């Protein structure tokens, strides 16, 4: 086992601990973090880089974070073949919801998602691959 430390906002950790507490007496923070890591790795293994995938990427971010808006824009301009459409909703004074409709080679779509979700200031992000060309029989 390796010990490492993580820095997180109070509120976020409190809510995580509440979630852990509901799992019963075997649950603790380390076990919960290990579960998240396993889930993340399992999700990664479901990627199909060689297939043509169709899906969407949902992001919520605070547009006041540094030059985030510019960086999001810059990344997206590198994937004009994969991004079919985007929708931007100004949720409140700080938060934006952005939804990208995507299609293209898995490798490129996953790379785009990783680059966008890896940007500092993106609070929530989820890539959903709804189908592949193969699953649609195309």
Does the annotation flag 90 for ligand binding?
yes
Contact 119, 72 (CB under 8 A): yes
59 binds Ni ion (CB under 5 A): no
Residue placing its CB nearer to Ni ion in the complex, 15 or 88: 88
* Contact map string, positions 71 to 90, toward Ni ion, x by CB under 5 A: -------------------x
Strands 122-132 and 52-62: antiparallel
Q: Least distance from C-beta 91 to Ni ion, angstroms?
A: 7
Neighbouring CB atoms inside 10 A of 100's CB total 23
CB of 47 to Ni ion, least distance (A): 29
Residue among 134, 86, 78, 85 nearest 106 (CA): 134
Binding mask 91-130 for Ni ion (x = CB under 5 A): -----x----------------------------------
Cβ proximity to Ni ion, 30 vs 86, nearer residue: 86
Distance CA 57, CA 113 (A): 7
CA gap 120, 130 in Å, rounded: 26
**Least gap, CB of 90 to Ni ion (angstroms):** 4
96 is in an annotated binding site: yes
3-state secondary structure string across 101-122: EEEEEHHHHHHHHHHHHCCCCE
Residues that bind Ni ion (CB under 5 A): 90, 96
Binding site residues for Ni(2+), as ranges? 77, 88, 90, 96
């Amino acid at each position: 086992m390796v010990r490492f430390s993580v820095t997180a906002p109070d509120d976020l950790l409190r809510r995580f601990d509440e979630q852990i507490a509901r799992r019963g007496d075997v649950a603790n923070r380390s076990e919960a973090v290990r579960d998240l890591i396993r889930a993340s790795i399992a999700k990664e293994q479901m990627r199909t880089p060689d297939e043509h995938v169709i899906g969407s990427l949902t992001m919520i971010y605070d547009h006041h974070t540094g030059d985030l808006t510019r960086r999001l824009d810059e990344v997206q301009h590198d994937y004009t073949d994969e991004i079919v459409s985007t929708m931007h909703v100004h949720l409140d004074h700080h938060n934006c919801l952005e939804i990208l409709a995507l299609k293209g080679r898995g490798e490129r779509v996953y790379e785009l998602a990783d680059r966008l979700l890896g940007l500092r200031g993106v609070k929530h992000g989820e890539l959903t691959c709804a189908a592949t060309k193969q699953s649609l029989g195309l």
